[in-house]
Each structure stands twice: as structure tokens, then as C-alpha cells.
Amino acid sequence: MCAHQAMPLEATPTLEVAVGGTESNVAIALARLGHRSAWVSRLPANPIGRRIARDVAAHGVDVSHVIWADAAEKAGLYFIEFGAAPRPDRVLYERRDSAIARLEADGLDAAFLASGRTLHLTGITPALGPGCRAAWLASAQAARAAGRRVTLDVNFRAKLWTPESARAALEAIFPHVDVLFSGLRDLALLFGVPAEPEAAARTVAAAWRLPLVVVTLGAEGALAYEHASGRLLREPVFPTQVQDRIGSGDAFAAGFLHGSGLGSDGGAAGDLARGLRCGNALAALKQTTLGDTSWATRAELDELLRGAPADPRRVSR
């Protein structure tokens, strides 16, 4: 739920209702680009839980494996106050004790999680509780055992746990990870690697034998480092009139998976340059709309990649 723009959360007469969350953001963004995707979570069987599932399903994401908890459980909530320099965006999360935080270690359907081509995870889940952490690790193991690709976005949240706890959890899952996404700052904070982007990517990939490390650099673009080949590519961002930054990291990950072919149903070995360009483009498009959701279609993404001019697009009949 978001405050009206240019009104503090303390003052707003109404809140815009929107659904978001790092994993569902990625699933929606991929579904909108034409991929089959599914999202698994645990939600209360009440109007708020149904709203969340309904908004995710609307984009074509398979929500049939969402676990429905009792109506008296609660969905995780967050309240966003959009800032304007020098006033920052503020986000107030209420995830403690939410239905997903009560997930138990054996709560997920491992067979289903291992049935897709790629399993995408993030570093927020294990921070929500021990059951979440166990289920998260188990799902990566199951997917790997079934020969699937596992991708992971670090997404460190300092308010949920310490860097030390996060590092411990991540080190446990790294052996099962094919592609690691991270912001540069998180790498430095959690793993003590150099602040220089290329060195950071190389160091992390080497230390934990991660096949592919993709680092987002804010206004400096993004880079991908392939450990086996030593290939390192970097692509700049697209100039953007930012409306809402939240969710752009998830759009980047989805765009990268789409463009590189790694997330595709029939994806090939991985076009890293195209992955980075698609990631940057989808992140740019996401930032032009309010809310976590990436609304871009395949056609809009392709249009931006082709560098189409900024004139109004007119469709007439």
C-alpha cells in the first residue's frame, strides 16, 4: 500500500493498494514477456491473501501451488511513502509473523519447484524465519538435483537480519546456485569484497565457485562475470524519468533472464550482453510506473531495445 505521491504517509487520506514482493515481481515480469512462470508462497485465506494471489495470477503466473493458511493469519504488508529529494522514499514493512514467515521446512512441494527450467530465489526469504530458511535451501537442492538452473538475488535487508547471518545463509546455498544477482553494495557489505565492481564480481565468483555473477551498479549500469570463461561484460543504464524505483532490481533480474536466454523455456547457452541490455531496459521501464510491477510487454521491451523515438505511439482505427 502506498501513500499518495507528494503526501507523507502520516498525512494521506487514502492509500493506493498494490501487490508486490521480490519473487512475484520476477514471475510477473517474465510472464508478461511471454514466459511460463509460477509463484509459490503462503497466504492467508482472507480478502487480502486472495487479492495478492489474484493480482499475480492476472498476468498469467501459475499460483496453483500457493499454500493457503487460515483466514486469521496475516499477509505481509508494506507502506511506502514516496520521497522527493532531499526527502528519501520510506518503506515500513510488516512481515514478522506473516503467513509466509510461518512457512515450515517441509512446507513446499519440492516436485513442483523442481519442475520448471529455472528456480529463482532471493535472499529475503531466509531472513523471515528458520522454517523459511530451511524450505528455501531445500528447494534449491531439489531443483539442482533435478537438473534445473537455480538463480538467486542477494537482496540483503539490514532491518531483517545481520550481515553475518545473511552471509551464513547464503554460503549454505551457494553450492546450488548457477546465477547470482546482487547490488554492488551488498557484495561489499556481506563478503568484504573490493568496492570496485569488476573485482567484486570476480572475487565473489571465485570464492564460492559461482558460475555467473551479475552485479547492478545503480546509475553505472550492470555487469556480468562468467567464472569459467573469465568473460566480463558491462552495459549502461537507459536514461529514465523515475516515478518509482522500488522493484527495479526485480525487473532487471527478469530482463536478464529473458535476454540472456537463461530464463527462457527454450533458452540457449546465454547471451550475456543481451541479458544485461534487457535487464537495464526492463528496469528502466519499470521505473516509469508506480508500484513494484513491471508492466512492460515483449513488444515494448523490443521497441526500447531498437531505440525507437520518444514520440507518442498512436494506434488508430
Instruction: Give me the active site residues, please.
Output: 250
Cβ at position 60, least distance to a second copy in Å: 6
Is residue 237 within 8 Å of 284, Cβ to Cβ?
yes
Spatial strand order in the sheet of 232-235: 118-122, 149-153, 179-183, 212-216, 222-226, 232-235
Among 111, 268, 269, 310, interactor with a second copy by CB under 8 A: 310
Is residue 274 within 8 Å of 285, Cβ to Cβ?
no
> Applying CB under 8 A, what is the total number of residues that bind a second copy?
81
Cβ at position 21, least distance to a second copy in Å: 13
For the chain, the first-to-last Cα distance in angstroms comes to 37
Comparing CB distances to a second copy, the nearer of 226 and 244 is 244
Cβ at position 58, least distance to a second copy in Å: 4
Comparing CB distances to a second copy, the nearer of 84 and 111 is 84
Comparing CB distances to a second copy, the nearer of 45 and 232 is 45
Choices 78-86, 133-141, 194-202, 206-214 (CB under 8 A): range interacting with a second copy = 78-86
Of residues 148, 184, 154, 188, the one with CA closest to residue 169? 154
Cβ at position 238, least distance to a second copy in Å: 5
Choices 102-110, 132-140, 157-165, 192-200 (CB under 8 A): range interacting with a second copy = 157-165
> Within 13 Å and on the Cβ side, how many CA atoms surround 234?
12
Among 111, 147, 159, 228, interactor with a second copy by CB under 8 A: 159
Is residue 32 within 8 Å of 294, Cβ to Cβ?
yes
Say whether residue 312 binds a second copy (CB under 8 A): yes
Cβ at position 64, least distance to a second copy in Å: 8
The DSSP string of 281-293 is HHHHHHTTSSSS-
Say whether residue 302 binds a second copy (CB under 8 A): no
**Interaction residues for a second copy, span 94-113 (CB under 8 A):** 94-97
Our measurement of the distance from residue 72's CA atom to the centroid of its chain's CA atoms, rounded to an integer in Å, reads 28
Cis omega before residue 86 (within 30°)? yes
Say whether residue 72 binds a second copy (CB under 8 A): yes
Among 35, 42, 59, 277, interactor with a second copy by CB under 8 A: 59
Among 34, 87, 171, 231, interactor with a second copy by CB under 8 A: 87
Choices 9-17, 137-145, 202-210, 271-279 (CB under 8 A): range interacting with a second copy = 9-17
Say whether residue 284 binds a second copy (CB under 8 A): yes
C-alpha separations of 170 from 31, 104, 166, 280, 289 in Å? 27, 19, 6, 25, 32
Q: How many CB atoms lie within 10 A of CB 88?
A: 10
